[in-house]
Amino acid sequence: MSLRSSAPRVAALLLLVAFVTAPQLFSFAFEPLTANNAPAIYNQGSLLSLTLSHLRIVFLATLASTMLALALGIFVTRPSGHEFLPLSRSLVNIGQTFPPIAVLAIAVPLVGFGEKPTFIALFLYGLLPIFENTLSGLTGVSPQALDAAKGMGMSPRQRLFQVELPLALPVILAGIRLSVIISLGTATIGSTVAAKGLGEVIIAGLQSNNVAFVLQGGLVVALLAVLIHDGLGIAERVAARRSGRPLDEAR
């Protein structure tokens, strides 16, 4: 990666860190968007704390989605699990069938307000892209590579962990990247059920008709999405180079 190509990423990261740690420094940019002496910078909580809480719930939900989707993907690509593929697809499609706000409405009476219903919504919503990419990655492994591994005396378990998963990793990472980006945006609605996150800033702006607040929450989410998307894209390219698999298969 050249210095010139990495400069925008570094600049975006520095801007994000500066804004969430010292937002008052940027008040001059948001003051024109306020009216009736409303505050230019969100003042009902720490932007840094809300950003970390937002990232935390997204990370935990994506981790849980990855573990289940990866396990299901491996299972249904084994001879003993082929017949469960339709059932598995139905399960992971649940999150995409219902909009996240509907999942929250169902989850709140069961688990209460806060992070738990948001976690459930993000977990369910993130399953499909990871599951489908796991399927694509594992079924796309070259039969010649599998035959060579079998000829070397590898057991099915060894072939899975030493051949199939490493070769499928770029495609799986592409699914995880998509899941993370979806969750970053979707997590903002968690604030409607009292979950800590950047949705608080956006909702506060909508309630008070303060465009500056709405823009601040949206700006931080957008910068996070761009940086994480870019970072996971780099991880995909590294994995693709190591596996020798064309990167366009992971997209």
Q: Model confidence over 88-136: pLDDT tens digits? A: 998 888 877 878 888 888 888 888 888 899 999 999 999 999 999 999 9
Enumerate residues 6+ apart whose C-beta is below 8 A from 150.
159
Q: Is residue 251 scored above 80 in pLDDT?
A: no
Average pLDDT over residues 33-39: 86
By C-alpha distance, which of 220, 227, 236, 242 is closest to 48? 220
pLDDT in tens, 235-247: 888 888 877 655 5
Residue range 183-200, pLDDT digits in tens: 999 999 988 888 899 999
pLDDT at 247: 56
Position of tokens 């994480």? 228
Q: How many CB atoms lie within 10 A of CB 58?
A: 27
Average pLDDT, the chain: 88
Residue 185 lies in a domain: yes
| The pLDDT value given to residue 41 | 92
Residue 92 within any structural domain of the chain: yes
CATH number of residue 221's parent domain:
1.10.3720.10
The answer as to whether 109 is a domain residue is: yes
Residue 101 is assigned to a structural domain of this protein: yes
- Phi, psi at 245, each rounded to 5°: -95, 135
Per DSSP, the three-state class of 27 is helix
- In the chain, the number of structural domains is 1
> Which DSSP state fits 162?
I
Residue 32 lies in a domain: no
Q: Print the domain residue range for 60.
A: 44-250
Radius of gyration of the chain (CA): 21
Give the pLDDT mean for 80-91.
89
| Domain-located, residue 232 | yes
CA–CA gap between residue 23 and residue 43 (Å, rounded): 10
Six-digit token string for 229: 């998307």
Residue 6 in domain: no
**Residue 61 domain flag:** yes
